[in-house]
Amino acid sequence: MRRTIRSTLAVIGMAGLLVAARPAQAQVKDPAYPARPITLYIAFGAGGNTDIATRALAQAASKHLGQPIIPVNRPGAGGTIAAMAVMNAAPDGYTIGTNAGSSVLMIPHMDDMPYRDLSGFTLIMNYGKFIFPLLVSGDSPWKNWNDLIQWAKQNPKQLSVGITSVQAISPMGIALYRAEQKENVQFTYVPLKGSAEVLNYTLGGHIKLFASSFDPAVLQLLRNGKLRLLAYLSTEKAEGFENYPTFKELYDEVPPNLGGIWGPKGMPEHVLKKLDDAFAKAAKDPDFVKVMASMSMPVVYMNHEEINNYARENLPKVGEVMRILKSQEATKGK
């Protein structure tokens, strides 16, 4: 994933970073805002959870703004292409975008990334979070998380974990690192292309532990016994499977986990307030809530102030773990 991000950014070149200076803070109050459609850059491809969720959110928010929010997919470079399109836009409220735990809390700590902090953005709101289950195949010998940990202690580095990226830049990998430290165990991480591949490797017996996102396919396999749930990396749990511990409960650890909306820095207060109010209402819209439920994605609303507080608190914590993991990777490579 890191090579993909770097190669994509090389294609983008410095043009995206050396854009003409944005207009001064655009603080002149426009009582007609919004007077035209708003562009919403979606950082991932069509058909995924983020795309489906934010399109439903945009439709619901449009009802309260009196203007449509037009979704535009800008996938690539781990969400960085869309992030740069937002960061370099005029701060007039007509260009916003999606973000995730990786783009807000992880990318600023990665090497060769186009933004090294969040100063170029205005965090507007958070609409949801992903469920991160820890799963094993239904015929595995482990009935609960403690069973698996005890086996891992007796079999160092033999417990293979499927994750969607290398450990140092994976939300799941960061949370699992904390568990390894507290339990004095070592896992072996297998970076895979996506949740579907992690699932297939788990069912095929190629990896022992599934660490990825929750979706309807996983839910069905849990119900028919082909998968077994041991714990959650996320604080959010799947409906019908609430009696399993989270890493917050076990280790007081939570992975980077967001599904939100941001804009460029310097957005006028009256524009931010209108967007904040519209998205607050959209997060309660029955059609939006129904779409989120269909993807087993909990609605977790945070307003402008709350999401900023969350980012301030968690950005340095995530960076600390990432530095440790990157150092370990560099040592292994020698």
Alpha-carbon distances of 131 from 27, 28, 216, 289, 314, rounded to whole Å: 39, 41, 12, 16, 18
User: For residue 303, what pLDDT is reported?
Assistant: 97
| Alpha helix stretches (DSSP H) within 189-246 | 195-203, 216-223
User: For residue 17, what pLDDT is reported?
Assistant: 36
Fold matches, 2-14+31-129+258-324 and 137-255: yes
Q: Where are the domains of the chain?
A: 2-14+31-129+258-324, 137-255
Instruction: Output the CATH code of domain 2-14+31-129+258-324.
Output: 3.40.190.150
Task: Kindly state the tokens that stand for 5.
Answer: 């991000």
User: For residue 29, what pLDDT is reported?
Assistant: 54
Which residue has tokens 């020698």? 334
3.30.1490.100, 3.20.10.10, 3.10.20.440, 3.40.190.10: CATH of 137-255: 3.40.190.10
Task: Report how far residue 273's alpha carbon sits from residue 271's, in angstroms, rounded to the nearest whole number.
Answer: 5
Task: Report how far residue 143's alpha carbon sits from residue 165's, in angstroms, rounded to the nearest whole number.
Answer: 27
Read off φ and ψ for residue 82, nearest 5 degrees. -65, -40
Count CA atoms closer than 13 A to 142's CA, side-chain side. Answer: 21
User: For residue 60, what pLDDT is reported?
Assistant: 98
Query: In tens digits, what is the pLDDT along the chain, a chain of 334 residues?
Result: 444 444 444 434 333 333 333 444 444 455 689 999 999 999 999 988 899 999 999 999 999 999 999 999 999 888 899 999 999 999 999 999 999 999 999 999 998 889 999 999 999 999 999 999 999 999 999 999 999 999 999 999 999 999 987 888 888 889 899 899 999 999 999 998 888 899 999 999 999 999 988 888 899 999 999 999 999 999 999 989 999 999 999 999 888 999 999 999 999 999 999 999 999 999 999 999 999 999 889 999 999 999 999 999 999 999 999 999 988 877 765 5
Task: Report how far residue 231's alpha carbon sits from residue 161's, in angstroms, rounded to the nearest whole number.
Answer: 14
Q: Count how many residues are written for the chain.
A: 334
User: For residue 36, what pLDDT is reported?
Assistant: 97
Task: Report how far residue 16's alpha carbon sits from residue 131's, in angstroms, rounded to the nearest whole number.
Answer: 33
Task: Report how far residue 133's alpha carbon sits from residue 213's, in angstroms, rounded to the nearest whole number.
Answer: 7
| Alpha helix stretches (DSSP H) within 26-102 | 49-65, 80-87, 101
Q: Which long-range contacts (CB under 8 A, 24 or more apart) does 280-286 make?
A: 280/125, 281/60, 281/61, 281/63, 281/64, 282/57, 282/58, 282/60, 282/61, 282/63, 282/64, 282/127, 283/57, 283/60, 283/125, 283/127, 285/60, 285/63
User: For residue 145, what pLDDT is reported?
Assistant: 97
Task: Provide the whole-model pTM.
Answer: 0.85
User: For residue 333, what pLDDT is reported?
Assistant: 58
Task: Kindly state the tokens that stand for 6.
Answer: 């770097």
